[in-house]
A and B are shown apart, each in its own frame.
Chain A
């Protein structure tokens, strides 16, 4: 097949398009975070997961050590069941605790895992029982108002009720 001088430029054009798609997939969408590292699955139950979403990070000391795989509702305990894939190179004691945290005031939510003291480490299919729910702003405001009202009530007890 004869070659034409267009070939070079068309090749460059196609290469540029492919590079753009690759850029979108890797830099904008972070394809690699679907990581190809081997993982082990663990499970935890939370009273309230707040705005946690699948693929949210599991961090320990600020470092991403795993990702949330799925979130479902367990209608026997009425709790949210969160399944996570942890990277195999990090191991955590069996009595580690988890809580749902928020990066920044309005940022995305993630799971923080704090190491416990036990010798045995978490393995495939293990369940973490020590969990702390997400902070829900409405509950906090409600609690705050309730506390304020209680304070006001006790301060006013001697005087006349308004």
Chain B
């Protein structure tokens, strides 16, 4: 295949531009469903249950283990400088600022994003979406919107649970197992973690990631080719694209929050 033939390059660029325009339009349409979704909040609640509650187990367990590991590794590094009391600060800051939102979003993409893509892709393959359009029901409003807002609501809550459980995990390893002084563990943490700058920015990050992951999962499902291979490759693309976007956006968001 001669990809460098000018006509092919032009075609590829045109297809990409088309995709970008289409996805931007779908994103705006999903944003505009905010009010109608509030009126049919029952659908959103069902999606929060599906996306949030079922992801809770993996989030809690991974948060706990990430906290354990942070406690061990943080202690290993800090005790070289004789400041192992700062362990609480290290664990809390790394979780609240970075690891909580990012790792929770990656897990959310793997656990909930894939099931969204597969569900919608199969609906499309089974021509359920076309059938809805036949009945003058807009699938974007009825199928995509509740899932979108469900994901946007569930993500920050999951990230907060992740950070909180991780801090408890760091406390278990640092204070209970290694024997760092519990009082200074908490007081150093409270002295160094700012409510708005650290916790607030973490929550903002996780909300942005909620929009990103839910949107990418829905877009891939909605755009999947209506075949088994199409659905499976769309699911793969969801994980790859959502993870890359989360990591890239995280860098941009951190850079912005640092400069403010």
User: Which A residues fall within an 8 A CB radius of B?
Assistant: 1-2, 4, 6-7, 9-10, 12-14, 16-21, 23-25, 27-31, 33-34, 55, 104-108
Contact = CB atoms under 8 A, between A and B. Distances in A.
Given A10-B53, A25-B195, 20 more contacts: A9-B49, A13-B56, A14-B48, A16-B157, A17-B157, A20-B163, A21-B157, A21-B160, A21-B199, A23-B164, A24-B160, A27-B186, A28-B167, A29-B96, A29-B195, A29-B198, A30-B190, A30-B191, A30-B193, A34-B195
B83 interface: yes
Contact of A6 (B46, B156, B188, B194): B46
13 contacts: A1-B42, A4-B46, A7-B45, A13-B154, A16-B157, A19-B164, A20-B165, A25-B195, A27-B190, A28-B96, A30-B193, A34-B195, A55-B191
Given A10-B53, A14-B157, A21 B189 contact: no
B203 A21 contact: yes
B52 interface: yes
A108 B85 CA distance: 11
Interface residues on B, range: 35 or more
Given A28-B193, A29-B199, A106 B82 contact: yes
A20 B157 contact: yes
A56 B161 CA distance: 29
Contacts of A10: 45, 48-49, 52-53
Nearest to B93: A28
B200 to A, nearest CB: 9
A13 to B, nearest CB: 5
Interface in B42-64: 42, 45-46, 48-49, 52-53, 56
B189 A28 contact: yes
Interface of B: 42, 45-46, 48-49, 52-53, 56, 81-83, 85, 92, 96, 154, 156-158, 160-161, 163-165, 167, 186, 188-195, 198-199, 202-203
B199 A16 contact: no
Given A9-B49, A10-B49, A16-B56, A104 B85 contact: yes
A16 B161 contact: yes
Nearest to B52: A13
Which of A1, A20, A23: most chain B CB closer than 10 A? A20
Contacts of B48: 10, 13-14
Contacts of A28: 92, 96, 163-164, 167, 189-190, 193, 199
Contacts of A33: 190
B81 to A, nearest CB: 8
Closest 3 CB pairs of A and B: A17-B157, A30-B190, A20-B160
A103 to B, nearest CB: 9
A153 to B, nearest CB: 35
Contacts of B45: 4, 6-7, 10
A13 B82 CA distance: 40
B157 A13 contact: yes
Contacts of B164: 19-20, 23-24, 28
A59 B4 CA distance: 72
B80 to A, nearest CB: 13
B252 to A, nearest CB: 23
B190 A29 contact: yes
Nearest to B167: A28
Contacts of B192: 108
A30 B193 CA distance: 8
